[in-house]
């Protein structure tokens, strides 16, 4: 699917989607990946004005409202997208700004997880974005989560992290720590 293949709905721009009969033939796992791909593409194409769930469900897509909502919330949980305002039925979703710079150019392995750090800028401000990934069976990276720290609150965040580490170390020393539960 080429991102230049756009069909323009009255309200949103969208990528071409496969016919419903082809979609029905996909495995459940492939359907999940396909819907996430399409929802992400819709966010990319409409990022200036954002997307509401009903923008997608009221257009020519055959995806159910619950499916669209679940995929948008998953993108928010992975910090690939954000919703504004946070707790509103009228929220709009946006891709999480542009990565101004990858602070560390490679995926950093810690234990069995990988992390990438970014400097991020979007309509709401500037952030440090810590992205958690895992390697799939093909050696590709899937984003599994992330945390976004407002750039102007980084020192406060680090202070709280140090306090949490100190308290955790005290609890570990009292409980005999280090072992698995």
pLDDT at residue 167, rounded to an integer: 94
CATH-assigned architecture of domain 1-96: Orthogonal Bundle (1.10)
pLDDT at residue 78, rounded to an integer: 81
- Where do the H-state alpha helices sit in 61-129? 65-77
pLDDT tens readout for residues 82-106 = 888 766 677 889 887 655 555 655 7
Residue ranges, comma separated, of all CATH 1.10.10.10 domains in the chain are: 1-96
CB–CB of 53/12 below 8 Å?
Answer: no
pLDDT tens readout for residues 11-45 = 688 888 899 999 999 999 899 889 989 999 999 89
Calculate the alpha carbon distances from 141 to 2, 138, 144, 146, 165 in Å: 22, 9, 9, 14, 28
Q: Which two tokens stand for residue 6?
A: 């756009």
Which whole number is the average pLDDT over 164-175? 92
- The whole-model pTM stands at 0.58
Residue 178 to residue 142: CA distance in whole angstroms: 29
Residue 56 to residue 169: CA distance in whole angstroms: 48
Peptide bond into 85 cis (omega under 30): yes
DSSP summary character for residue 20: H
């Amino acid at each position: 699917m080429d991102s230049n293949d756009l069909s323009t709905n009255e309200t949103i721009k969208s990528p071409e989607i496969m016919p419903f009969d082809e979609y029905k033939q996909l495995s459940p796992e492939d359907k999940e990946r396909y819907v996430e791909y399409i929802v992400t593409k819709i966010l990319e194409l409409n990022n200036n004005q954002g997307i509401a769930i009903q923008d997608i469900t009221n257009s020519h897509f055959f995806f159910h409202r619950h499916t669209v909502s679940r995929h948008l919330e998953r993108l928010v949980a992975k910090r690939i997208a954000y919703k504004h305002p946070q707790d509103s039925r009228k929220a709009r979703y946006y891709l999480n700004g542009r990565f101004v710079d990858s602070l560390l150019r490679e995926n950093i392995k810690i234990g069995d997880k990988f992390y990438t750090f970014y400097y991020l800028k979007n309509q709401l401000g500037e952030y440090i974005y810590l992205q958690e990934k895992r390697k799939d069976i093909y050696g590709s990276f899937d984003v599994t989560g992330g945390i976004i720290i407002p750039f102007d609150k980084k020192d406060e965040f680090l202070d709280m992290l140090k306090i949490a580490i100190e308290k955790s170390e005290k609890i570990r020393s009292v409980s005999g720590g280090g072992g698995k539960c």
